[in-house]
Amino acid sequence: MPSLTPSLVQIGKFFSRAAFAVFCGSAAAAAELPPAATGTVDFVRDVQPILAQNCYNCHGAHKHESQLRWDNKEIALQGGEHGPDIIPGQSAESRMIQLVSGAAPDLIMPQKGDRLTAQQIGILRAWIDQGAPWPASASVKAIDPRRHWAFKAPIRPPIPSVKNKNWPRNAIDSFVLARLEAEKLRPSPEADRSTLLRRLSLDLTGLPPTIQEMEDFLADRSPDAYENQVERLLASPHYGECWARHWLDVARYADSNGYEKDLSRSIWPYRDWVIDAYNNNLPFDQFAIDQLAGDLLTNATLADKVATGFLRNSMLNEEGGIDPEQFRNEGIIERMDVLGKAFLGLTVNCCQCHDHKYDPFSQKEYYRLFAFLNNDDEPGMEVPDQPTQARRTAIQRKIADIHDQLMAQYPDLPQKMEAWEQEMKAMEGTWTVLEPQAYYASVGTKFTKLDDNSLLATGSNPGVSQYTVTAKTSLKGITGFRLEALADANLPSYGPGRAANGNFVLSEFTVEASPDAPIATTNQVPLQNATADFSQPDFPVAAAIDGIITNKIGWAVEDLPGRRNRSRQAVFETKNAVGFDEGTVLKFTLNHSYGDEHTLGRFRLSLTTAPRPLRADPLSSNARAVLALPLQQRTLAQRRELFDFYRLTDSRMAEASKRIDDEQRQWPSAPTTLVLAARDQPRPTHVFIRGDWQKPGALVTPDVPSILPALPKVARLNRLTLARWLVNKRHPTVARVIINRIWQEYFGRGLVATSEDFGTQGDPPTHPELLDWLACEFMDSGWDIKHMQRLIAESATYRQSSVVNPRLQERDAYNQLLARGPRVRVDAEILRDIALSASGLLDGQIGGPPVYPPIPDGVLTLGYGAPMTWETKAGDRYRRALYTFVKRSVPYPSLQVFDAPTGESPCPRRTPSDTPLQALTTLNDPVFVEAAQALALRVWKQGGKDDRARLQFAFELCTGRLPRPNETAVLSSLLQDENHFFENRTARAVQVATLDIKNPPQDVNLERVAAWTMVTRVLLNLDETITKE
Amino acid sequence: MNFAEHFFHERRKAVTRRYFFNQCGVGLGALALASLLRGNDGFAATAGNPLSPHAPPFPARAKRVIYLFQAGGPSQLDLFNHCPGLAKYDGQPIPKEIVKDQRYAFIKPDAALFASRFQFARHGQCGAELSEALPYLAEVVDDIAIVNSMTTPAFNHAPAQIFMNTGSTVFGRPSMGAWVSYGLGSESQDLPAFVVLSSAGGTSGGSGNWGAGFLPTVYQGVAFRRSGDPILYLANPPGITPAMQRRSLDALKELNQDRLDVVGDPEISTRINSFEMAYRMQTTAPELMDLAKESKQTLEMYGAVPGESSFANNCLLARRLVERGVRFVQLFHEAWDHHSDVTGGIKKECGATDKPCAALIKDLKQRGMLEDTLVIWGGEFGRTPMVETNKEAGRSQGRDHHPQAFSMWLAGGGIKPGLTLGKTDEFGFNIVQDPVPVHDLHATILRLLGFDHTKLTYHFQGRDFRLTDVEGELVPKLLA
């Protein structure tokens, strides 16, 4: 069969054999086969066990090799991609029998495991000969994953009609009630007003209502009193904090890099961006686009770029001895995971090593998606706030004014500058860039050779390090070498060094030369006359050739603020011309002895044969470009730029230059944040064979999985296209996934309980129509998150009482049918915020750098290396828990114990637990003790004139409601016992009532306050206090 | 329904029923009621508690585990794997065909071979070879099984530790201790199921080494502190005596019970139970930590000194913990990363750990606990047969990370005593016989505890996750 394509050769062989068998007559073929069993075969009793034992592994529920399944009647009888395997009534001609009997020796089934026995084959033959009867009840239901509900775009379903027309307040309720009515259940009555406001406040802001807020609401008898509360809370700046926290879980936000070193990082401006986005009700489509591709937007703002920190939240391994490329790839793999969990609701990472076992995604499709994320530099970017930016602009203007005055002041300036420009042009020099042959660092650090022959240092940065680079040249008469220290987006603060501020200290620079011959002596090349375009005061470039390797002095480049992180260069003359007839091998050694990460980040080496003396070019490359322009073509800004270099050479301008420096010194600093910056040249992306980055397979281009809508044809294949595609209305999962997670925060469980997985292995939605209606409403509203919050918060479904009756509990333990309101323990952060809020300690400041509230001794030492500095500053103690520094390897104990994620992987849903360690935390953690003490003092001072009033005040602060009589009785009795106990025990009372026993609160009866502390501690530990009812 | 969901479901059912009986006055035979309410307050010992003890599906050889994790990567070549080839070719480059394309953290692949500076000798009736750095272990060598053919894919500390402890180099998976607590629950009513003790440095993998991953936090390892209270927030606040704490808890219990009666949420009863267990923990844990109660002889055997923080103390504490029903105790001793002066480093760390390790075996044995306590000793990878020398970094006569072949030992709990499993080539570079990948070790450990490693799963993000991921084969030779 010459027309067969190679991939069909196997089949061709079979068919030719089968044809041969037919040619020879079935009797001849059958003669090679074990005889059919005699007697009637029962499929379930006799045949299915053989199939299950021998075939299901490759042709069953999990794998469908050759698109064939032996557990499903239709598919089995129809056959897989090779055509029918069974011809009923003709066992000898059936492909199945041919393959199991070994009649086709190059393809024997099963391919793994034992061969079938003659007896088993006989049974199969008899079954086929008897017509292959297969009862439908013995067939597994085969589901085509491509038809899975979540892969079809949601269509807005009609709102169902319900019998009880009075109950629904909006569409949500009609869907919920229709289901309840079908289940013969009734919704619960509305929760009482105090429960409702507390629930709503905790859900929208993560803070309990104040007593005043509660009183206002209880007094407001207007019909839209509740709706007004929804509006008030949505407008609160704390709304953004609360909902940012949910998003930050899936964004795996943390303030440290993770892995062994787990050093601190600055990315909190991203966290604040998320808070602002919620507070400003940024439409979700824009919210997504900014985070995935804000830097690629036309006229991208600073905020747009800050948003790309979303992807930068992946961990960074700085352990000594790693291969940075391995962990760069692992970072992208992690970003794929977050893309899957945050937006797609799909477990795409299953395809890192192989095609998805359950969902219709191939490994190749995975790497096509990967290719979108594989093309970025990873800089840290300055984020000046508005006042800082204004001050900077003012400084720039002042300096420009000085420039302009100087340029106008001296009539002879044109002539002087003309002469200077000629001099500058003459000294540009000719440099030959060297291509590094071998390059390595003494410890840990690895280098990437870039296209311009510069080397970029990556991976671990031990601080004290020796770089060695070898290069070859055929030039002779070498008079000097140039070392360019280059700024780069992938370095801290853009480099050119690797210290946090982008600086380095080059302690010593040496060169050895040898003839390019098999056996050659190597000689040190004596260097002299070191010059640099800039040297930091006390770190002159001459120190780099002072012959001392180990001292901390060397060439460094930190200029005044606002002038840092620029490319710099140093030039070293050779004492004697260098160069051999055979060619010359040069070995450069760059020593860094300063420590504290002060190593070079990106650098390039060149040489020259120009006559000495040599001098480092004082001009920047920009200024050089201006210099090349004719005078008339230069803009004012360009003229200033060039003049900025000239003025340094004109002694008449020394005083003005000092004034400029003085202005520059005022340059205000700004925080930095991690962002993405697209590379000009995309990296090639390969399929990694079995997920191993060291085994690149086929080259792939960016594309999206075929089960999902296609990309627009004209689109550029970059992150921006990917982001826009995600929030396209035809996208089947994104709107559902997002609205489901919003729902989950209200009800403690999503309509799809597996909120991270909408694939075939995820839970089906409890209310599919409601989910689709919400998804459509979300998109049609312009992805308006606050609109969706209103819908849910104002629904009758949400307002139900959460009281559980035993019958309902037995019937629907997880409240999937929504016949009652949610009752869930609050999140770790909110739990702490409630205690601080009730006690009046809470500092409500929004945003800013992470804070360091007190942490117990010994916690920080659980991580590797020296424990980080954890200094509790004034103002750190009582901020909302959201702002606590998130250290990945050592999570903050009271947050971790209540199930807060560590930021090591995306967390679309927390797994709540209830443990004794939680009880110990709320009982004994000094933060909670302090809250109890502050609450006691507050109660004592403000709680009213008698203990009864105080008790009500305290109880309401914690639970949002007044105590019932038996609760009053228990608490009064406790108070009485404690009052009695502390009587005449002043010292103990001081201990219990205050953390600072040397400065106890004045003007109060400390014995009574101590007794109250015992009561308030109980109140703060109540299940109800830490629960949203 | 997986384990966790099953427990929670059962618990809810149990609580609902009790609530139902209490509140609704439905009559019930005394026997049936008793079966529902067994345990000290009705729940601690019922199926409802996710940490209540339960039998594994298969007969278990080990009921509990003490894992002596030697973080940093101890040099198998100076401790267990005697490689005469090293001495023979000491100082010469290792043959290229052996190294192939293996990458290294710090050294270059053509570095010279470096013979162990320790003498090896055969010990015990089994005749296992041990280096002279382990004189105490030599005394119990007939009770342990040495594996010289461990292999791991990861060769940087953090990923390798995470791999050894969770079966994946990706952070966020449950640790072995968490899986075991999830599968077996705890025999202790007043201590955590999974306790972590540490000595020397902090671990590269951080708390992910004992994390619960996606399992409920209740299965997470509880890191005991080295000084002060062993458990965070164990002590009452200043001025509050146990009696005062009891008064508070009584009021709290009454109020929470009252709330349960009103709203009927079974979660409240779990919370009541948690507070009661916390209170019990407050008494049990300090007593547990008080090593002064041990005999002088025992203290001497371990080299433990009450009041100090040391690996020796932790070994003794481990015994006290398992005696009290703790299911999984893991010691972390992060001290073996000997890039320089491996000989000196081995001497120092063996000085700190050899005696207490051997003492633990002896002590468990004399108490009849070794037969059902599995003891595991090992790090995240081994060290190279080649020398690591680096003048600039101040390193000489060290060894780099070596993932292809390294050594561990196991004892008790169904492990075949006196066994030395696996062989490497004469340099200790590659395994030539009986390789034991980490997942196979995990599968074997789980089998000893009574599990088929493919069946102890937790459904998360669309699939059933397990400690052995998609790998793992039982190592029958290790079984007694």
Mean pLDDT for B206-232 is 87
Please choose, from the candidates A598, A537, A540, A597, the residue with its C-alpha nearest in 3D space to the C-alpha of residue A572.
Answer: A540
pLDDT bucket at A34, cuts 50 / 70 / 90 = confident
Q: State whether B233 and A921 contact (CB < 8 Å).
A: yes
Q: How large a percentage of chain A has pLDDT more than 90?
A: 71
Please choose, from the candidates A834, A879, A837, the residue with its C-alpha nearest in 3D space to the C-alpha of residue A854.
Answer: A879
Is residue B264 within 8 Å of residue B258, measured between CB atoms?
no
CA dist A589 and A544 (Å) reads 11
Using a CB-CB distance cutoff of 8 angstroms, which residues of chain B are in contact with residue A911? 214-217
Mean pLDDT for B456-479 is 90
CA dist A404 and B14 (Å) reads 85
Question: Which member of A924, A977, A1014 has the closest CB to residue B233?
Answer: A924
Is residue A7 within 8 Å of residue A101, measured between CB atoms?
no
Confirm whether B397 is domain-assigned: yes
Is B364 in the same domain as B399? Answer: yes
The CA distances from residue B206 to A316, A858, A911, B376, in Å, are 14, 13, 21, 20
Mean pLDDT for B139-161 is 95
CA dist B74 and A988 (Å) reads 51
Is B29 in the same domain as B147? Answer: no
- DSSP for B423-466 reads EE-TTSSSEEE--EEHHHHHHHHHHHTT--TTTS-EEETTEEE-
Q: Which two tokens stand for residue B67?
A: 């894992």
Using a CB-CB distance cutoff of 8 angstroms, which residues of chain A are in contact with residue B12? 809, 813
Q: Which residue has the higher pLDDT, A319 or B414?
A: B414
Phi, psi of A934 (to 5 degrees): -65, -35
Confirm whether B302 is domain-assigned: no
Is residue A864 within 8 Å of residue A262, measured between CB atoms?
yes
Residues 6+ apart with CB under 8 A from A662: none
Q: Which two tokens stand for residue A911?
A: 């797994």
- The verdict on B283 touching A (C-beta cutoff 8 Å) is no
Q: State whether A888 and B334 contact (CB < 8 Å).
A: no
- Give helix then strand counts, H and E, for chain B: 13, 17
Q: What is the CATH number of the domain that holds B99?
A: 3.40.720.10
In a mutational test of the B interface, the residue from A887, A915, A925, A951 whose CB has the highest number of chain B CBs within 10 Å is A915
Confirm whether B301 is domain-assigned: no
Q: Which region among A30-34, A252-256, A261-265, A422-426 has the lowest average model confidence (pLDDT)?
A: A30-34
Mean pLDDT for B181-199 is 91
Q: Which two tokens stand for residue A728?
A: 């396209």
Residues 6+ apart with CB under 8 A from B99: B109, B110, B429
> What pLDDT does residue A75 have?
83
Phi, psi of A432 (to 5 degrees): -105, 115
> What pLDDT does residue A480 have?
96
Is residue B157 within 8 Å of residue A317, measured between CB atoms?
no
pLDDT over 50 (residue A13): no
CA dist B108 and B293 (Å) reads 52
Is B261 in the same domain as B360? Answer: no
Q: State whether B461 and A861 contact (CB < 8 Å).
A: no
Is B250 in the same domain as B368? Answer: no
- The verdict on A187 touching B (C-beta cutoff 8 Å) is no
> What pLDDT does residue A866 have?
65
Is B15 in the same domain as B108? Answer: no
Q: State whether A806 and B104 contact (CB < 8 Å).
A: no
pLDDT tens across B400-411, in order? 999 999 999 999
Q: State whether B192 and A917 contact (CB < 8 Å).
A: yes
CA dist A69 and B2 (Å) reads 27
> What pLDDT does residue B34 have?
32
pLDDT tens across B272-309, in order? 989 998 999 998 898 999 999 999 999 999 999 998 88
Is B335 in the same domain as B278? Answer: no
Residues A289/A293/A295/A296 CA torsion (nearest 10 deg): -100
Please tell me chain B's helix, strand, coil percentages from 3-state DSSP, rounded to the nearest 5.
40, 20, 40
Q: Which two tokens stand for residue A799?
A: 């307002």
Domain C-terminal end among B33, B49, B65: B49
pLDDT tens across A880-929, in order? 999 999 999 889 999 999 999 989 999 999 888 888 999 999 999 999 99
Is residue B427 within 8 Å of residue B385, measured between CB atoms?
yes
Residues 269-288 (A) with a CB less than 8 A from some CB of B: none
Is B44 in the same domain as B70? Answer: no
Q: Which two tokens stand for residue B459?
A: 């459904």
Please choose, from the candidates B150, B152, B164, the residue with its C-alpha nearest in 3D space to the C-alpha of residue B420.
Answer: B150
Residues 235-274 (B) with a CB less than 8 A from some CB of A: 235-240, 244-245, 247-248, 251-252, 254-256, 258-259, 262-268, 270-272, 274
Please choose, from the candidates B59, B53, B22, the residue with its C-alpha nearest in 3D space to the C-alpha of residue B39.
Answer: B53
Phi-psi domain of B452 (left: phi exceeds 0; alpha: psi -120 through 50; beta: other): beta
> What pLDDT does residue A342 have?
96
Average pLDDT, chain A: 91
Angle of CA points A930, A935, A940, to nearest 5° = 130
pLDDT over 60 (residue B399): yes
Is B86 in the same domain as B188? Answer: yes
Mean pLDDT for A799-826 is 92
Q: Which residue has the tokens 């089998």?
A: B447
pLDDT tens across A63-94, in order? 777 778 888 888 888 887 778 888 988 888 88
The CA distances from residue A628 to A274, A430, A645, B48, B86, in Å, are 46, 16, 15, 81, 65
Confirm whether B187 is domain-assigned: yes
What is the DSSP secondary structure assignment for residue A46, as one 8-state letter?
A: I
In a mutational test of the B interface, the residue from A261, A591, A892, A914 whose CB has the highest number of chain B CBs within 10 Å is A914
Is B220 in the same domain as B92? Answer: yes
Q: Locate the chain A residue with the closest alpha carbon to B20.
A: A806
| Shortest CA gap B265–chain A (Å) | 6
Residues 556-575 (A) with a CB less than 8 A from some CB of B: none
Please name every residue paired with A688 in a beta bridge, in sequence order, or none if there are none.
A696
pLDDT bucket at B26, cuts 50 / 70 / 90 = very low
Residue A144 has a CB neighbour count (10 Å cut-off) of 8
Please choose, from the candidates A286, A306, A445, A308, the residue with its C-alpha nearest in 3D space to the C-alpha of residue A375.
Answer: A308
Q: Locate the chain A residue with the closest alpha carbon to B265.
A: A804
Q: Which 3 state secondary structure label does DSSP give A523?
A: strand
Confirm whether B304 is domain-assigned: no
Expressed as residue numbers, the domain containing B37 is 1-49
Confirm whether B366 is domain-assigned: yes
Is B205 in the same domain as B346? Answer: yes
Please choose, from the candidates A704, A757, A717, the residue with its C-alpha nearest in 3D space to the C-alpha of residue A733.
Answer: A757
CA dist A888 and A318 (Å) reads 14
> What pLDDT does residue B392 have?
67
Confirm whether B197 is domain-assigned: yes
Question: Which member of B156, B235, B264 has the closest CB to residue A809?
Answer: B264
pLDDT bucket at B204, cuts 50 / 70 / 90 = confident
Q: State whether A1018 and B251 contact (CB < 8 Å).
A: yes
CA dist A191 and B325 (Å) reads 45
Q: Which residue has the tokens 């379930």?
A: A44
CA dist B16 and B20 (Å) reads 6
Instruction: Tell whether omega for the bond before A110 is within 30 degrees of 0, i.e. cis.
Output: yes
Structural domains counted in chain B = 3
Domain C-terminal end among B294, B317, B341: B294
Domains detected in chain A: 6-142 (no CATH), 240-380+681-811 (no CATH), 386-424+638-670 (no CATH), 430-616 (2.60.120), 926-1028 (no CATH)
Is residue A262 within 8 Å of residue A255, measured between CB atoms?
no
pLDDT over 90 (residue B322): yes
Phi, psi of A909 (to 5 degrees): -155, 130
Q: In this predicted complex, what is the ipTM? A: 0.83
> What pLDDT does residue A68 have?
82
Mean pLDDT for A639-668 is 94
Q: State whether B275 and A919 contact (CB < 8 Å).
A: yes
Terminal Cα distance for chain A, rounded:
74
Q: State whether B203 and A1014 contact (CB < 8 Å).
A: no
Average pLDDT, chain B: 87
pLDDT tens across B36-62, in order? 333 223 223 333 567 888 889 999 999
Domain C-terminal end among B9, B26, B49: B49
Question: Which member of B20, B259, B392 has the closest CB to residue A442?
Answer: B392
CA dist A706 and A148 (Å) reads 14
Is B99 in the same domain as B147? Answer: yes
Q: How large a percentage of chain A has pLDDT more than 70?
A: 97
Q: State whether A319 and B157 contact (CB < 8 Å).
A: yes
Q: Which 3 state secondary structure label does DSSP give A594?
A: coil
Using a CB-CB distance cutoff of 8 angstroms, which residues of chain A are in contact with residue B228? 857-858
CA dist A192 and A66 (Å) reads 61
> What pLDDT does residue B3 have?
44
pLDDT over 50 (residue A23): no
Mean pLDDT for B3-22 is 45
Q: Which region among A113-117, A382-386, A399-403, B372-376 has the lowest average model confidence (pLDDT)?
A: A113-117
Q: How large a percentage of chain B has pLDDT more than 90?
A: 67
- DSSP for A336-361 reads HHHHIIIII-S-GGGGGTSS-SSSS-
Is B90 in the same domain as B203? Answer: yes
The CA distances from residue A496 to A381, A493, A592, in Å, are 14, 8, 14
| Shortest CA gap A4–chain B (Å) | 37
Confirm whether B264 is domain-assigned: yes
Residues 860-889 (A) with a CB less than 8 A from some CB of B: 861-865, 867, 888-889
